[in-house]
């Protein structure tokens, strides 16, 4: 535990989106962190507390120029920007010789070996004080946790069928986050070559084929993974491998029954279950669910911040798999 007389100051760049809203709630309640600044062009000058009841201070949204970010005095910076937008912000810190902890929520640095890839349940042992941390994708988190316990036993590519709520498409209007287009619908997209497919294949060192879809619900995703095994297995053997692998992980719950999105929405962890084997014992189907805005983004970013500052990894995260109570109505499809 870090011995600090003063709170650790965290700047948030790109706070207008859904994940930014979740981070504000988590950081506002955290015993060791405080918000240094919260960037949003659309809300520039408005009181943070007028938009987020969880925040009780006097901070206002701001829209600092990228080159001014290094002067704002944050110990850590979370970049909650769209893909392709993180680079200029990172470059501003590098040009100024500033070295805060930077956690990037986009895909921009997930393939950059100079950045620590922060999926703590699988990578925390490799953390050695790196100051640049890339947060995994939401689908990529679910897929890796669903497949990792069976690495070394697999034969051939793993197929993953994914369905996410439309909050995963962000706030910029598109068919993938338009409730009218999605009503009574399931929208497939990027059925080959999705960036999360490449991310998971790279990180696991095993080929994964991913087929994502968007559904009419707001938040929460499910991945059904189809795994071919080199040797036949029993359900008990498979379950025991998963339970042993995640026995000490408070944010991973292993269940016998297939998990439901409605149970995982607004919670901070991952549920993995189902474990259906065919009659040969060579084909296994596993289901993983998580909240794409929390464990798929904001909660995982908080885990990474805690690790970076030598804090308990789960400090400030309700356990086990506890609901983010203020967000409960969102599971019914309402926006923040």
CA distance 210 to 304: 26
Cα 281 to chain centroid distance, Å, stands at: 32
Task: Report strand pairing: 61-62 vs 76-79.
Answer: unpaired
Report the pLDDT value the prediction gives residue 327, as an integer from 0 to 100: 38
Fold of 8-136+294-322: Rossmann fold (3.40.50)
Identical fold, 8-136+294-322 and 138-290: no
CATH code, 138-290: 3.30.360.10
Q: Are 79 and 105 in contact (CB under 8 A)?
A: yes
Cα 314 to chain centroid distance, Å, stands at: 14
Query: Which residues have a catalytic role annotated?
Result: 138
The number of residues in the chain equals 336
- Hunting for tokens 């793993």 — which residue is that? 158
For residue 297, give the DSSP letter.
I
Report the pLDDT value the prediction gives residue 330, as an integer from 0 to 100: 30
CA distance 187 to 43: 32
Report the pLDDT value the prediction gives residue 171, as an integer from 0 to 100: 57
Cis peptide bond N-terminal to 111, omega within 30: no
Residue segments in the chain with a per-residue pLDDT below the cut of 50: 1-3, 322-336
CA distance 158 to 229: 10
Both structure tokens of 91: 């470059």
The domain limits of the chain are: 8-136+294-322, 138-290
């Amino acid at each position: 535990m870090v011995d600090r007389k003063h709170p650790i100051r965290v700047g948030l760049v790109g706070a207008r989106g859904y994940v930014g809203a979740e981070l504000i709630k988590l950081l506002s309640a955290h015993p060791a962190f405080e918000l240094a600044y919260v960037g949003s062009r659309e809300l520039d000058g408005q009181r943070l507390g007028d938009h987020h009841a969880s925040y009780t201070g006097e901070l206002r949204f701001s829209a600092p120029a990228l080159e001014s970010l290094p002067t704002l005095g944050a110990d850590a910076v979370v970049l909650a920007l769209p893909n392709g937008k993180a680079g200029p912000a990172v470059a501003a810190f590098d040009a100024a010789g500033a070295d805060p902890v930077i956690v990037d929520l986009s895909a921009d640095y997930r393939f950059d070996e100079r950045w620590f890839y922060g999926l703590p349940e699988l990578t925390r042992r490799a953390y050695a004080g790196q100051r640049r941390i890339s947060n995994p994708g939401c689908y990529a988190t679910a897929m890796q946790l669903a497949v990792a316990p069976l690495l070394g036993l697999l034969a051939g590519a793993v197929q993953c069928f994914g369905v996410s709520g439309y909050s995963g498409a962000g706030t910029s209007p598109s068919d993938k986050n338009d409730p009218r287009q999605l009503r009574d619908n399931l929208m497939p997209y990027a059925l080959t070559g999705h960036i999360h497919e490449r991310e998971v294949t790279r990180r696991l060192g095993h080929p994964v084929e991913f087929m994502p879809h968007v559904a009419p619900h707001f938040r929460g995703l499910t991945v059904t993974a189809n795994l071919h095994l080199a040797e036949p297995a029993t359900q008990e053997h498979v379950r025991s491998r998963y339970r042993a692998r995640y026995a000490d992980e408070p944010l991973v719950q292993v269940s016998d029954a297939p998990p439901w999105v409605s149970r995982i929405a607004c919670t901070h962890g991952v549920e993995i279950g189902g474990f259906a084997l065919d009659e040969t014992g060579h084909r296994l189907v596993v289901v993983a669910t998580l909240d794409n805005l929390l464990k798929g983004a904001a909660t995982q970013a908080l885990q990474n911040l805690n690790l970076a500052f030598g804090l308990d990894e789960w400090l400030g995260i309700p356990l086990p798999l506890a609901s983010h109570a203020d967000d409960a109505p969102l599971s019914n499809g309402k926006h923040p």
